[in-house]
Structure 1
Amino acid sequence: MRLSLPILAVALLLARAAPAQELPIEAPPPAPAPDADAPADDPEAEESAASDVPLEEIKRYVAVYKAIKDAYVEPVDDKALMGAAIRGLLLDLDPHSAYLDKDDAEAFDEDTSGAYDGIGVEVQQLPDGRVKVIAPIDDTPAARAGVKAGDTIIAVDGKPLTPASAAGQGPLRGKSGSTVELTIAREGEPKPLKISVTRETIRIASVHGRMLEPGYAYIRISAFQADTAADFEKTLKQLQAGAGDRLRGLVLDLRSNPGGLLTTSVQIADDLLDKGDIVSTRGRSPLSDSRFSATPGDLMHGAPVVVLVDAGSASASEVLAGALHDNQRARVVGSRTFGKGSVQTVMELDNGDSVKLTTARYYTPSGKSIQARGIEPDVVLQPEGEEKGQAASAGYAEALLPGHLHGDEEVAGSNAGDVLDGDAPIAAALAELKKQVTGGGTAAARD
């Protein structure tokens, strides 16, 4: 199958903060049907494409390929060698561009439903093969076993992770009921930790809600999946009904939410906005440009909203927080977010494999790119019992990923945010929400 730029651009999606080994990324919508009147091949287009190919570099590549085939100490399979070459094309672009073999590509589609066999973490593949934990998912084996955001998995079942470990679905996936031992490097621990985790079929309930106090609702969103927006609307209406349809305010908890489906994030923003832009994307190709705007109908009827974030809030989480903040619909409380502000396009290849390629940056309604910067909260919270900046030394931010895409307003790694665990941040968000209620307003603008 010949892939063209229009087909590539149709598949625009917002990826998670990592090439997801454990959590879904939005599957691309189907490519538009070809025009029946269009010729099967466009000679002028093919000639133009051919003129863009650096022939001298291709000759150099062929010479190296032939040398490996003829002289390497052991025979090398053509398919394996070519696969390595294609991966090499993407390796030094940015951390979110990747070649996905058929198993990984199928896992992408499968995971969109929120059900898969694994331990329940979102990870970032590092160049040396190790994986950084972006966030353990609520109520999964990894979370229950004590895996934390910011951990680095350096070995699985005693075998050190290498770049080859990422082949297929990776070592963290496996049959439900099987046990895997993780060797983890954790900031502040003098020696690597060994944590045993029993895999399960992960069915993620991404929305949880409760009343914090009479009139004050709390909704936690752990990931943005296919049903998350509908579950958010259902949960909010249930809380409103329980309060006699008189909610005074809402705390929306996006801590350690690694992202997910852009369309879901946009829908939830629309649920809380009457008007205004939500997010826009811009890339080199006009086909990468898009804009999402709110439609009338605020499910909270103007009641104040506080969004709770931390260093594990990434991608679609940052879109939602930025949209509500820039439209002066909510105040943001917590810590600087991860800073994953790039858009990936997924191209399906004719052999069932796929290529995930970064094609655009996304921008909040005020026109700011959060790539390698993140969302800076209106009210900054500190982790309990920790000094500010520990997340920075742990390398827990997009700006500290090797080869990350440069941000328009990039901040130094020392300004990376913190992971905020526990109930104390919820109490702080509730206190801020009450200030908004007694003050009679929603959110204050911040430059």
Structure 2
Amino acid sequence: MATGRGRMLQHWLQALGQPLRGSGAGLGRAGFSRFRKGPGVRSVAGCAAQRQHARQELHCERPSSSSSVSLDRMPSEVLLQIFSYLDAVSLLGMGCVSRRFYHLASDKACGLGWAIILKGKSGKEHVMEHVNLSINHTAVSLAWYGKHWPCVATLSTLELCGVTPVFMDWYKSPTKNRPRWRSLIARYSLSHLTESTMIGCDRLVQIFCLDPGLLVGLWKKEKELAFVMANLHLHQLVERSTLGSATIPYELPPHNAFEIDSTEYGLHGYQLHIDMHSTGVSYLCVTFRSFFTKKECIENGYVKLTVIHLKNDREHLPLIGKVGFFWKTNVFDGYIQSCSVMNVTLLDEFGKPFWCFSSPVGLRPAPSRPDCPNSLGQRYYVDYADVEGRVHMELMWFAKFEEYFVVSLEVYLHFTKINHWFGTHYQG
């Protein structure tokens, strides 16, 4: 919690409409004030003007040029003076707002970073701090690459940790002598780099997705590590990166179930923000508000929420550009088709984060279906699943427009998650 002047500054920042994403409050309604739902495209065979309008509307709204005060436009010297009033925890929160804020906050003794610890089968550890950072609207992407990776065959696990300096005057000490506090975020088994977890490849590398949110690139020829990328949703990122230990991840506070039974008549008033992107490139950025599902929409232990209906082409949305994943190392870079990173934030009817994730995903060809003529274009599926829910997206590629269109989007929430959230006892 910020001290006197720090709290006053936080209130001032929030009054300017600049939500402190990544702070203890998490992502609430204010965090999505800059997004709106992209309009449905009247017809996938519509005119070029309609598609251009859809492209423009899909992008997030920018602050008005007439705004009298904008933090992003302030000189670095002014921001550094403002940050000087914040304590370490508040600085960590500010560091998750943008790349610029991250570097400025670090200059004021914040020092938050992320590292991977590659553990060998013999017990030897290889520690690497991130070399690249990209901040999206709702997530952070971190990359590791270099010339001196240990041999994959000798490794057993990979641990992702947040690292912070033990002492506030850390910048006065040589880098190799700086004591760091590790907060374990996730642990991955490298034995899972198999064909079942591979989501794409090009002529140089193969990429594998390990849950949660880790992408591992292997050189195709040597089958050795090329790069690692971690995708971290901003919701409670500061807590996960600082409040755990070197061996135990940060444990979320106990959730107090709501007294009302919102599931009695289905789920109502939910808000979904979803974006698909690669490094520096956005393919989709859209928010859906006030959608709902009836209690009868139950499938195999999940409640189904239909966000985009297949048969309603007014809801169909274009993806901007050809979807692909851009990768980079200190020697080569490349592009893998039909892969991207998907960020999803689902807010409940009270504006509380209900389900959040950031993960690499791949497009896979979909089988034909009688209610969707194949003559329109090739169809693809994008799927994500974890213990709390699933996302199923259906895309169609139209060669005439050289664009993908999202023609169906469904969210499935597991009954275990719903019962935990509302204190109910539903059976799937």
Q: Aligning the two structures, in what range does the TM-score lie when normalised by the shorter sequence?
A: under 0.3
> Comparing both structures, which one devotes a greater share of its residues to strand?
2
Q: What TM-score, normalized to structure 2?
A: 0.26
> Comparing both structures, which one devotes a greater share of its residues to helix?
1
Q: What TM-score, normalized to structure 1?
A: 0.26
